[in-house]
Structures are given as C-alpha cells and as structure tokens.
Structure 1
Amino acid sequence: MRRIFLALVLAVALPAASSVFATGLTVVPEGNRHAEQPKVPGASVRRTRAGKTTFDEKYEKIRDLLASDKKLVAKIRATAADYGIDAIHMIGAIVGEHTYNVDAYDRLQTYYVKAAAYAGDSFRFGYGDESIKDFLARSEFAKCDDFSDSYRLWTCRESVWERNFRGRTVSGASYPDNRFSAVFFQPFYAGQTFGLGQVNPLTALMLSDMVAKTSGYPKLDENKAANVYDAIMDPDKSLAYMAANIRRAIDDYKTIAGIDISRNPGVTATLYNTGGSAERAAALKARGGLPEENYYGWLVNDKLAELKSLL
C-alpha cells in the first residue's frame, strides 16, 4: 500500500485525474454513515478527565468562543474563500480539535499571547544530537531532492523515514518506532500540536508552498523551527494552514479516489484529525465504497446545523 500511495502522490500527473473528471465524481452526501458515534480513543478520554471536564463542556466552550468572536469568524470565512472551501469545514476542524484534543482558551487574544511565547530561536527540530539538517543529508533522502514542491518533497521524506529508519538502527544510530513528525518535529514533547488549528509542524512544512502561493506568507524552512512555530501558533497564519490542509484532503480524494467530500464536513474533519489524506484516498479507491466519519467527524456532522449557525 505504501508504494501505491507514493506512486499516486508523487506522480507528476495523476492518471486517475483525467478519468475522474471525464466520468464525474461520486459525491459524499451530508450526514453520518454511523448511526451512533464511533468510540472515542482512550487517550482523549483520559486527557479530558485529567482536566476535570467533559466532552460536552469542551464542545460548548469552543462553540461559545466562536459565537462570541465575530472577528475570528470573519477571518475564517475570508480564509476559506481564499482556498475555495466552505468555511464550515474550518469550523468543524476547530471544534473537533478543541473538543477532543485540547481545551479552548476563553479569548482569541490568549492564542496570540501563547504564540508570542514561542518566539526566538532557542529550539530546533531534530532527534537527540542529530539535527533535521544532518538527518536529511543522509544518502537515503537524496532521491527526494528531485521534488521541488513542499508537499511531494516532505511526502517523499516521510516515506523514506517509514521504510528505512522507523524502528531501525542505521549506521549505529537507533530510531524509535514512531511517526516522523513525533520523532523529529516535536522539540517539546512527542505528539504536541499547537494553536487554534492544532497544526503539526511537519504538516505545515508540507503545505508551505500552497500557503505561500495563496496567502503570501513566507515559505517555511525546517532549519528555522521558530518560524514554523510562529506559523502554526499565530491564529491569523494558522488559519491559512488549516484551510490548506482541508483543501489538500478534498483534492486528494477527487484526484486519487474520484470522490467529492466537499459536501460532508464530518469527513473532512475526520481527515483533519487523522491526516494522511492521499494514503487514505488510495486505500479507499482500492477497496471501494464511501469514506466514513470517525468519532471526531461524527460530532461535527451531528452538530452541523448548530455549527452552520455560527457562520
């Protein structure tokens, strides 16, 4: 599956794309495929209990923040328009993240304050004593240099990690059996995401070209970790990366699987939560059928009328 995925993602022109648009797309309608919400992962349950709160309380908190901050909602609408997506997809992703992964701050201004705390250049991306610059200089990554756009470049690098380094000992260095983003792109602690959109640093690097082209923000450099964190912590900038992430998922499902997910915010929210839209689209194409929402996307579809009213 990994090889199939790479062939689909890295090809200069996807063979599926022409046939997709020639025969039309299969549209995923609104609503949930599951009658009941899929099980919420234990880690999310434990995190919520530790905060002495509930999922319902966290949902209501982020919903109320959005309802009370017209300026933020206006920014969401404008950013969504820039990327050619419905703003409800961004609302759904924000609500999902702050219901199941983190707790919302009471005011948007707090997100700006937190972002400022990460300013400076006192940290870097790397694993142990090996910087990301030195790691990517290894010969195994040489073939990735053929790709100039950030999405294909980092997809290639992530694949090399999975195939050659994950859980292995290479040239005397032992690497954890964990995701590339968790090992090399989390200088504070593994699994941490940041900001209003809870964007992962590696995801931001992948989407850098799209965001630079569409929103005009500077391209990101993995050797300047502070700039990456500024991009994903600053609410204004992070909205662009959120929108790009959702745009990427919609495009992947169209070109790879021939499926239009743009009318189902629960499905786009699911992909925002899980990542790997290209790989998942390839798997769906291989097995057939329609994509299904997970616990996170299920909530978005279940609350869709209320969330739409925020816009």
Structure 2
Amino acid sequence: MTFATRLFAFLCIAATTLPAGAATLVPPGNRAATQPDVPAASSIRTSALKSTYEVKYRKVFALLKNDKALRDKIVSTSAKYGVDPMHMVGAIVGEHTYNVDAYDRLQTYYIKAVSYLQSDFSFAHGGETIGEFIQRPQFSACDGKGGSYEQWSCREAVWDKEFRGKTVDGKTFPNNRFSAVFFQPFYAGQTFGIGQLNPLTALQMSDIVAKVSGLPKLNHNDPQQVYQTIMDPDLTLAYVAATIRKSIDAYRDIAGFDISQNPGVTATLYNVGNPEARARALKAENRKLAAAGKPPRLPQENYYGWFVNDKLDELKTLF
C-alpha cells in the first residue's frame, strides 16, 4: 500500500470516527518521502561558516544533551503552555541547524542578553521610530484590537498593504518584511537567543506570555528590554512555547486540523510564521478540494520541519 493510499484511508477513518466539528488529527511523521529543497540563503550561510547541517545539528544536540537544566526548563515551560516538549525542541533544533550555530554553553546566551540590555539602539527606519510610525493614520484600525498578537499582526498586514515597496507621503519604503525593516537594527534577518526569535514575534506573544508566565509585557519603545528578553533563556523559552501554542490553536480553530502530534508541522510554522494566515489559506484550499470531490490536503512540513520529524526519535532520547 502506497503512502498516498494509507493517508487517504486515514482521512476516511478520521472523518467517520471524529465527532462533528472536531479537528482532524495530523499523524506523526513526514508527508513527503524526501526532504524538500533547502533555501539557498541557508546553504550559503552554512557554507560561509565552513560547516554542514549535520555538524550544526550535532552541536545543538550536544547543548541539549549536556545541559539538564535547559532540558528541565523546556519541560516545565512546555507544560505551562500545554504543548509536548518535543515541539519546543524541534523549533530550537531547526533554528540552530538551518539558521545559526548554537553556542556551546547556555551561559553564553545570558552574557549576550546583558550586552544587549546595555547597548544603544532603537526600532526605527529612516529616522522614524516604530512608535512614531504606527501613529500614522493607516494604522488607526489596529489600535482597537484586543491583544498584542492581534495588534501587531494587524500592523504587519497594514505594512504589507500600504507601505511595503511603496512611496507614501514622499518617503520610499523597502520591499521587505515589517520585522526586517523596523525590528532588526543590526542587520535584516537577524534573530536571537536559544529560540532564534525575531523581536516582532516576541511583541506579538507578549500578552500570552504575561498571562501564562507572569512576565512583564514587552514595550516596542524599549528595544533593549525586547532584545534582552529574547536572549535570556529564562525568559525566551516562554515566547517559544507561546508561539507554538498559537500555531496549534490557529490550525485547530481555523483550518480544522490538530497538529499537536506532529512537531515537524509546528516547527515549519515556527520557521515561516503567520500561522493564522496560513491556516486560512489551507482552509480555503480544502474547500475547493471538497467541492471537487477530492480529499483534503493535510498541513505539510517544509525542509526545516521535515528535518525535525526525521530526527525526532533521536531527540526523544534526551527526555
């Protein structure tokens, strides 16, 4: 029996056994037999370090293996957010395999956190701070949004629609992501800490983390606080867990899929971001497939999530 046949059989069984309105479980493992192509940027970055993906994976694996305190923090934090620890492990491993090398010791992350707290920089572009920028009338609809995730997601959408790659009020804006233009003052694409978060994601998750973990809310006018938070392992792990929780909830509530048993899917979403928009797109696609009498498409892993699922048995030995 081919994988496609087994998958179709699974969907048919799920459709007849799950209660009406329940999310369809996405089974563990990869949908694709081979790893999807890795983006050129990741390959170039790794080659520049004279390294390989396997070497980088072994380095982050060793960090997790040799630091019981870190593993304990992951387990306790994941429990607070109601996610399996392997989802957090998958995000951390994926980031340090395809983004940057892990530091050899957790202590280095604490030292870096202090250095950012003492640095002088701002979230700004072209002399306009982010606080000033979001006061523009185009963002007025976002002010009434209920929480930090809704507000910053709205602002990101306004950026894409009204400013990205356009000239507004005589000022030309880059054709680049909101997070890269305003929230990465050292260089675009930079992410930070054991979870390799970008500051915009941290700002989005601020309310959830404040509610669940009791940490202070982040302030976009205090970039040092934001950077110090996402560099400090005692603080940033809560943001990693909250980001994963948001993805699981979005796919359940919007697209009707339970991705809680597949760390490769949550790792993919951690990598690409915008889980709610992606869940809506999948829902729309599956409506068209249903209208054509075809089975739904399950959430799929990208190269990053595929790698996490492929290494999952080995990663589970750490916990």
Question: Given the two structures, how large is their TM-score scaled by the length of structure 2?
Answer: 0.90
Q: Where does residue 4 of structure 1 map in the other structure?
A: none
| Identical columns (%) | 61
Q: Deviations over 1:97-133 (max 9, x none)?
A: 0000000111111111111110136111010211111
SS at structure 1 position matched to 2:269: helix
Partners of 1:133 and 1:74 lie apart in 2 by 37
Q: Of 290, 302, 308, which residue of structure 1 is paired with 2:310? A: 302
Q: 1:247 aligns with which of 233, 245, 257?
A: 245
Could you say if the C-alpha distance between residues 162 and 21 of structure 1 is closer, same or farther in structure 2, counting changes exceeding 3 Å? farther
2:212 alignment partner in structure 1:
214
The answer to whether the 8 A contact 2:124-2:182 is kept is yes
| Unaligned stretches of 5+ residues in structure 2 | 1-17, 287-296
Deviation at 1:144, TM superposition (A): 0.8
* Alpha-carbon distance in structure 2 between the residues aligned to 1:287 and 1:137: 36
Spell out, residue by residue over 1:21-71, the C-alpha distance to the aligned partner (whole angstroms, 9 max, x if none): 852110000000010011111111111111111101110111111011111
Query: How do 1:55-134 residues align onto structure 2 when only pairs under 5 Å count?
Result: 55-120=53-118, 122-134=120-132
The residue aligned with 2:22 is: 24
Give 3-state SS (helix, strand or coil) of 1:73's partner.
Answer: helix
Tell me how far apart the structure 1 counterparts of residues 221 and 160 of structure 2 sit (CA, whole Å). 21
Q: Of 293, 299, 303, which residue of structure 1 is paired with 2:301?
A: 293
Alignment match, 2:266: 268
Unaligned runs of 5+ in 1: 1-19
Sort the Cα spacing of 1:263 and 1:50 in 2 relative to 1 into closer, same or farther, 3 A. Answer: same
For 1:105 and 1:121, locate their aligned partners in 2 and report how far apart those are by CA, in whole Å: 21
Q: Is the 8 A contact 1:155 1:206 kept in 2?
A: yes
Aligned residue for 1:146, secondary structure, equals coil
Give CA-to-partner distance per residue, 1:275-307, whole Å, 9 cap, x none: 010011011111121011011111111111111
Letter in 1 for 2:69: K
After TM superposition, give the deviation of residue 148 of structure 1 in Å: 3.1
Residue 293 of structure 2 corresponds to which residue in structure 1? none
Superposed CA RMSD:
1.1
Preserved contact between residue 113 and residue 229 of structure 2 (Cα < 8 Å): no
Q: Distance in 2 between matches of 1:274 and 1:119?
A: 28
The structure that has the greater radius of gyration is: 2
For CA contacts below 8 A with separation 6 or more, give which structure has more relative contact order.
1
Task: Provide the C-alpha distance between the structure 2 equivalents of 1:217 and 1:94, rounded to a whole number of angstroms.
Answer: 21
What CA distance in whole angstroms lies between the structure 2 residues aligned with 1:111 and 1:278? 30
Decide whether the 8 Å contact of 2:60 with 2:102 is kept in 1.
yes
Is the 8 Å Cα contact of residues 97 and 273 (structure 1) preserved in structure 2?
A: yes
Give the superposition deviation at 1:147: 1.1
Shift of 1:230: 1.2
Mapping of residues 270-285 of structure 1, within 5 Å: 270-285=268-283
Check the 8 A contact 2:91/2:270 in 1, yes or no: yes
Tell me, yes or no, if structure 1 residue 45 matches structure 2 residue 43: yes
Q: 1:150 aligns with which of 143, 148, 151?
A: 148
- Residue 52 of structure 2 corresponds to 54
- What is the number of residues matched between the two proteins? 292
Describe the SS at the equivalent of 1:228.
helix
- SS of the equivalent of 2:116 reads coil
Equivalence map 1:155-166=2 (5 Å): 155-166=153-164
Alpha-carbon distance in 2 for matches of 1:287, 1:128: 39
How far apart, in 2, do the equivalents of 1:299 and 1:132 lie? 36
1:223 match: secondary structure: coil
